[in-house]
Structure 1
Amino acid sequence: MRLRATLLYTTAIFGAASVAAPSLAQVADDPAVDAEQTDGDERSGGIPTIVVTAQKREQSVQDVPISLQVVTGESLQNMQIAGVEDLAGSLPNVFVTKDTVSSNVYIRGVGSGSNAGFEQAVATFVDGVYHGRSRYTQSAFVDVERVEVLRGPQSIYFGNNAIGGAFSVVTRTPSLSNWEGSIQASYEFEGNEPAVEAGVGGPLIEDKLGIRVAGRYSDLDGFITNGVIGQDNPNVEDKFIRGTMVAEFGDAWQATFKAEYGKQDSIAPLAVQLTNCPPEPPFNAAATFSCGFALATGQETELDYNRSANPGEFGDIEAQEYVFTLEKDNLNGPGIVFQAAISKYDFFLAADTDGVAADFFSFNTFESVNQKTLETRFTSPRDFPVEVIFGGYYLDTGTTINTTLNFPFATVLLAGPLAPLAPFAPLAGDISLDQQEEAMSLFGSVTVPLGETFSVTGGLRYTHSRKQGLQSATNATANDPFGLTVTPLPAALQPVAAFLTGFNTHTTLGIVEDDAFLPSVSVQFEPTDDLTLYAKFSEGFKAGGLDAVELTGIADRLTFEPETVDSYEIGLKAFLFDRNLSFNIAAFRSDYSDLQQSVAQFTATSAFITIANVGGLRTQGIETGLVWQITDNLQFGADVAYLDAAYQDYANAGCTALQALQAQNAGQVGCSQNLTGEAPPFAPSYSGNIRLGYETPIGDSLKLTVDGAMNFSGGYHVIADRDPNTFQSAWEKFDLRVGIGDYDDRWGVAFVGRNLGNTLVVGSANDVVASAGSYTQQVQRGRTLAIQANFKFK
């Protein structure tokens, strides 16, 4: 049985219509507090049960009516997964990729797209604290207990805006009984990336007071070659440290204080490359600016791991967070949780996005977030016949966003009526938003058992949000290639410049105030300990807001409406064959109304992003997961998701480059297309993975572990206008880990290879300003080959 227990530590265990971890990672279930693994059912052995608190109370994973997955922190380390983007590449129906002013975060085809004014439809929570901005949790997973991925709206038990799903990150806390720690060092050869992570903690006063300190350092040299400067991009140096203190007092009280700080410094973090040059007809007759320059200089423009860009691109992310949590166990009376958190996050990016070594088009963007949250939660005593949870939540956030678009290429156009602008070249457009948000909510749920095998849970959340912001835009002179500082144009020249850039000088006050009542009901039937069936209905809500990059100054265009969803899910979770096989399946359907969608618009001389409320989106499908313990030494896992997502009413979508050209040739002012019935971005019809894990002894004290996985996806669009030239075709990626260590996992060495076939996958794409028919695209990280060594003590 020793081998079985060890193998299960690197395996996949499922709850709900779950999916697999990256390789045969240990998978549990839940977003919130604790998870513990039992040793399995003593009657039958096999795959052990996972105890979680996904609904703010302890439950077996089989009892949680949610399609979710949990990946352990040790699995993240073993497979060299350093952040959400790396993790998402292994999860069906989950996509996270970098883009310009914000990232793309999608689950089941639902996401907000790239606009800094958005809180993401897929929210992130770290130890229960809301991180709504897409790059808020950019730093590495450090000393993580587990990461939970929940699909579909999470309306009742989460604090804010998780209408499409949620990532919940739970960090390790100190033991109060013994000192323990670990250190892992690795080197990845393709990106020349050394990394080291360590954590140590234990009691200062046994059973009373404990402390844990953890940190990580890595330095990625890059995986895309910039031929202009002879360097690899992106170059990312990542530093992170966290300290956690836990104190227990009285019979059931515990206080936790956590402080953490992270800093990420990058060179060319948005490493885009020019593609589709020369463009196909009817664009090829006018290959100007970026594409014309590339053709004249012989620049290679195939989609690969090479690019051309000017030096000077950089970015940085700095985040800090302080969390205090006071808890009382509900074993001998009501349970109480009080949490207060202060978070600060700053993000900056300066990028050359014309795709060539010339000053044609670039931008910079800055985002600063200061957030305070409070949450209080009460639970009924464990021996109470009806399970009751209720509480309140408060959020106060101040956000500053500034974006500058630079148009050096337009200098050649400054003649005739535009000649007065020539002395002020190169032109730029400067946009800013200062916003304050207050949100509060009250929530509760009641679970009523109806006999020994049937139960009903009803929940309700009331939420109120108010956002007030001052948004402005102006035409300016860029004082450097990236517009890090600008000088506004004289007032008399602003209308002339607006004709060229699309920026109308303005300062507009916007106020958005929303309320919603969100009901949820689920029923569960458990005829045996090894079989659970459930059905669930819930409503979701995401507050309206202000467009951070609105250019026109038209007051009605500054704000956008909230989005809502009605979501249905049914599922089955089963253990079979003496718990040697776990099988789960869930079918879902979600109908979104007024979906907040980011729309990129490109004119002959400008680029801008607007926000529109799409009339409707329906996303439906099936998610399955299977784990089979074939022998004590061998385990097989597979996950497959089918997705059918389509807009129900989207008549005013942004145009493709070809449609915009056709409208221009026809003398039309503006351009839109009808995408009703079409799929949103990052919504392949199928995705999944297949995994195999094997373990065998070597001599009397060592073991060999081999974990392999194939991750796959059908084709999908990466931008909202569904331009066929940026369609990502179906792909497969193969991962392998081979490790040798001792039976007690005190030390080990391993080789880890991810995406061994070096499959090229596009993460984001955009039209090239003033070079219609060509595109800039960013590829995700390709093959990685790493060696790692780890040591643990306890």
Structure 2
Amino acid sequence: MKNRKTRFVLSVGTLAIAATSTPVSAQVEEIIVTAQRRDQSAQDVPISMQVVSGDDLQDRQISGTGDLADSLPNVMVTNDSVSNNIYVRGVGSGSNAGFEQAVATFVDGVYHGRSRYSQSTLVDVQRIEVLRGPQTIFFGNNAIGGAFSVTTQKPSLSSWEGYAQGAYEFKADEKTVEAAVGGPIIEDRLGIRIAGRYSDSDGYIKNLTTGQDNPAIEDKFLRMTTNLRISDAWDASFKVEYGKQDSVGSFPSQLTDCPPQPPFSAATTFSCGYALAVGEESDFDFRRSSGAGEIGSIEANEYVLTLEKDNVDGPGIVFQAALAKQDFLLAADTDGVSADFFAFNTSERLNQKTIEARINSPENSSIEYTAGFYYLDTDSRIDTTLNFPFATVLLAGPLAPLAPFAPLAGDIYLDQSEKAMSLFGSVTVPVTDQLFVTAGARYVHSRKQGVQAATNATGNDPFGFSVTPLPAPIQPLAAFLTGFNDHTNQGIVRDDDFLPSFSLRYEVNPDVSVYAKFSQGFKAGGLDAIELTGVQSRLTFSPETVDAYEIGLRGLFADRTVSLNLALFRSDYKDLQQSVAQFTATSAFVTIANVGALRSQGVEAELQWRPNDRFELSANVAYLDAQYRDYANAGCTALQAFVAQQAGQVGCFQDLSGRSPPFAPNYSGSVNASYDLPIGDSMQLSFEGAVNFSGAYDVIADLDPVTRQGAWQKFDARVAFGDRDDRWTVALVGKNLTNERIITSAQDVVASAGSYTRVIGRGRQVALQLRYRFE
């Protein structure tokens, strides 16, 4: 590994020497962002954030936030079962379908609270603003850990423009086509832009049972945006988009640690015992064994109407109304072997309506202000079925009455509605020509109500798409085995809070400013989508809150050829909502618990050097110290549960106080260098190299050391040839060139204590890319 790092450093040094020998001046490009819901230079915004342009996304062949997260320090996005893991600064919600994510996504200002909702929306993007820490004032009540703010391209009212891009990735046999075109239908009055993307991938993991590669994914996306210039001051836009992703083996977990290490018996049963008996492999690699029938589907459509008045001659006004629908389905075989021992399916239907209205101060006002109203109305239905065909061999003796109903399954649903409302505002006052004081606040109110039920049933197919509930008299006996108590409960959760925010920004000179900020954040409570005990008090969970402190510097130096941004932060969370996996001898389920307290603190730094118009060097690094301050009732590891069982204890808990949460490495970051070499009068050859790196971290809520992900480095590169006007480009793009094996999620194997299933991230990728632009 040392030799890899040395070669990369030498390569960057060679590029730097070549670059500085070129006497062509350049400056770091100014970036306009909307992190505070109005157009501002990134240098004037007192927030730790990273901005990624749409061009950069296309160059790097990035189609989702998971791909993007590797290059973002203190940001983790990985694939999991019922939802993705999205963590910023060690704060996230984990995997539970009942959660809105602590790190929220907003696309053109519209809230996407479910992690799967934004699976395919990074198409024809202008930029992504990755905002770290609680975003209290401008991004609603649930962005308590951070936010991804995505801005898509808008139609031009003056000229037609667009692009077409195709790519082929060799390892996964992935074909991708993306295109956009837009321009005026009526010049200076009415414009339209249409963008779409299609990709088809065979997958990067070989399923040794079916002979297929997983996850095989077909992804389709289409967006149309229109813009109407009503008058010199008023504009109206309407956006409609549709996305559909179908997959086979979309959660490709694989059996590992079989046979398990002592003190677990080598004479294991079920999954591990079967694998040992028939010789199925259990190495952590790009192979797995699983039965046929694993499928996934995500379908979403969205309609957004926006009316906007500019703030040139008076206050600016924005009104936005959005309607969104999402259907999600996943059926996965999670026992890690070809035999049918344990599998599940989960589905969600979500209908969401949002309304937001804002007023902004006039453009030349000495006092800047923003005030607004936000309303959210959602209805969702979440269904989950766990199939236990392995338990059939246990149906003898006292459990014999269950035999006619085998194979057993547990069926759960949550039917929920939510109405949330908030009022927000901020005002920035110039105390002097250099000192600015900002005060803001948000009042939030949320009401959730729902019906949640669970029952024992007969699974009529391997994944439980069809089940038949067991007769009532035999339900208690089935509950003894599966842990599912037959019940139907209702719950109502009402939360409200007042969240202040204060900041000071001092302009040392026009290019350098320092800031200090305090804010409070809030994430509403809710209902557990997969509560199976029937205990009424366990159905609901409480809101979480945070007090966040941050100081920072944002500056341009050396004639604006160097940009340096620094942030030091501390966030104290209370009642943090966490999903906790619980495993019994015959069942597995995920519950929701409120962690007493968590502290996240550290430093983030972003450096960019652009000495001329050919060369650029950037580095983004972070140090993180995230620790539970009070978490005495965490779920046990497999080893702790085994020891407790051997001692005859009933139940098992561990104290994780003082330990780091999942996906919270002590250090992370990326270093990137690029160089453009002119060829003749009109052509150029471009080189780009990057190393993304992270320290070790846990990937499972119980912090089991067996599944801990070690420190890693990923090397990416791009070589492109095209004309200097960037009208056409031919490129070779490589990602994770050293084929690092990264754990994205892990779980204990039901009834095979000491063994685990893990999901491996995508390995080496090499893609040929073609792009043409016109305007």
TM tier, shorter chain?
Answer: over 0.9
> How big is the shift at 1:56?
2.2
Structure 1 residue 763 corresponds to structure 2 residue 763:
no
> How big is the shift at 1:159?
2.8
Alignment of 1:599-748 (within 5 A): 599-748=580-729
Q: Which residue of 2 aligns with 1:571?
A: 552
Distance 1:455 1:175 in 2: 35
Structure 1 residue 79 corresponds to structure 2 residue 60:
yes
Alignment of 1:392-791 (within 5 A): 392-791=373-772
Structure 1 residue 349 corresponds to structure 2 residue 330:
yes
Query: 3-state SS of the aligned residue for 1:76?
Result: helix
> How big is the shift at 1:663?
1.0
Deviations 1:505-558 (A, max 9, x none): 000000000000000000000020111100000000000000000011111000
Distance 1:324 1:495 in 2: 52
Deviations 1:132-190 (A, max 9, x none): 01111112511111111100000001134000000111111100000001000000001
TM-score of the superposed pair, with normalisation by structure 2: 0.96
Alignment-mate amino acid for residue 633 of structure 2: N
Q: Which residue of 2 aligns with 1:9?
A: none
Deviations 1:394-422 (A, max 9, x none): 00000100000000000000011100000
Asked whether the equivalents of residues 45 and 578 of structure 1 are also in contact (C-alpha less than 8 Å), the reply is no
Q: Which residue of 2 aligns with 1:227?
A: 208
Asked whether the equivalents of residues 278 and 774 of structure 1 are also in contact (C-alpha less than 8 Å), the reply is yes
Alignment-mate amino acid for residue 406 of structure 1: N
Q: Which residue of 2 aligns with 1:180?
A: 161
> How big is the shift at 1:385?
2.5
Q: Which residue of 2 aligns with 1:330?
A: 311
Deviations 1:414-458 (A, max 9, x none): 011100000000000000000000000000001000111000000
Q: Which residue of 2 aligns with 1:108?
A: 89
Asked whether the equivalents of residues 361 and 408 of structure 1 are also in contact (C-alpha less than 8 Å), the reply is yes
Distance 1:284 1:700 in 2: 72
Deviations 1:667-721 (A, max 9, x none): 1111110000000000000000111111111112100110100000000000110
Deviations 1:97-149 (A, max 9, x none): 11111111100000001110000000000110001011111125111111111
Q: Which residue of 2 aligns with 1:298?
A: 279
> How big is the shift at 1:285?
3.6
Distance 1:488 1:129 in 2: 40
Query: 3-state SS of the aligned residue for 1:621?
Result: strand
Structure 1 residue 64 corresponds to structure 2 residue 49:
no
> How big is the shift at 1:637?
1.0
> How big is the shift at 1:632?
3.5
Asked whether the equivalents of residues 26 and 613 of structure 2 are also in contact (C-alpha less than 8 Å), the reply is no
> How big is the shift at 1:59?
2.1
> How big is the shift at 1:45?
5.3
Distance 2:121 2:559 in 1: 39
Deviations 1:184-206 (A, max 9, x none): 00000011000000000000011
Q: Which residue of 1 aligns with 2:191?
A: 210
Asked whether the equivalents of residues 598 and 629 of structure 2 are also in contact (C-alpha less than 8 Å), the reply is yes
Distance 1:343 1:331 in 2: 32
> How big is the shift at 1:639?
1.3
Asked whether the equivalents of residues 574 and 583 of structure 1 are also in contact (C-alpha less than 8 Å), the reply is yes
Alignment-mate amino acid for residue 343 of structure 2: S
Query: 3-state SS of the aligned residue for 2:58?
Result: helix
Alignment-mate amino acid for residue 276 of structure 1: D
Distance 2:54 2:248 in 1: 28
When structure 1 is superposed on structure 2, of 540-549 and 67-76 the one drifting more is 67-76
Query: 3-state SS of the aligned residue for 1:717?
Result: coil
Distance 2:392 2:577 in 1: 35
Asked whether the equivalents of residues 630 and 636 of structure 1 are also in contact (C-alpha less than 8 Å), the reply is no
Asked whether the equivalents of residues 181 and 793 of structure 1 are also in contact (C-alpha less than 8 Å), the reply is yes
Q: Which residue of 2 aligns with 1:256?
A: 237
Q: Which residue of 2 aligns with 1:239?
A: 220
> Which residue of 318, 341, 351 maps to 2:299?
318
Distance 2:105 2:351 in 1: 16
Asked whether the equivalents of residues 712 and 732 of structure 1 are also in contact (C-alpha less than 8 Å), the reply is yes
Q: How many equivalent pairs are there?
A: 752
Q: Which residue of 1 aligns with 2:150?
A: 169
Query: 3-state SS of the aligned residue for 2:92?
Result: coil
Asked whether the equivalents of residues 653 and 672 of structure 1 are also in contact (C-alpha less than 8 Å), the reply is yes
Query: 3-state SS of the aligned residue for 1:87?
Result: helix
> Which residue of 348, 356, 364 maps to 1:383?
364
Alignment-mate amino acid for residue 42 of structure 2: V
Query: 3-state SS of the aligned residue for 2:280?
Result: coil
Asked whether the equivalents of residues 73 and 620 of structure 2 are also in contact (C-alpha less than 8 Å), the reply is yes
Q: Which residue of 2 aligns with 1:36?
A: none
TM-score of the superposed pair, with normalisation by structure 1: 0.94
Query: 3-state SS of the aligned residue for 1:294?
Result: helix
Alignment-mate amino acid for residue 505 of structure 2: Q
> How big is the shift at 1:389?
0.8
> How big is the shift at 1:249?
1.6
Q: Which runs of 5+ in 2 are unaligned?
A: 1-11, 13-24
Asked whether the equivalents of residues 291 and 337 of structure 2 are also in contact (C-alpha less than 8 Å), the reply is yes
Deviations 1:217-270 (A, max 9, x none): 000100000011111000000001010000012220000000000000000100
The percent identity for this pair of structures is 67
Alignment of 1:17-166 (within 5 A): 46-166=27-147
Distance 1:73 1:535 in 2: 30
> How big is the shift at 1:384?
2.5
Alignment-mate amino acid for residue 757 of structure 2: T
Alignment-mate amino acid for residue 32 of structure 2: V
Distance 2:190 2:339 in 1: 59
Q: Which runs of 5+ in 1 are unaligned?
A: 1-22, 24-43
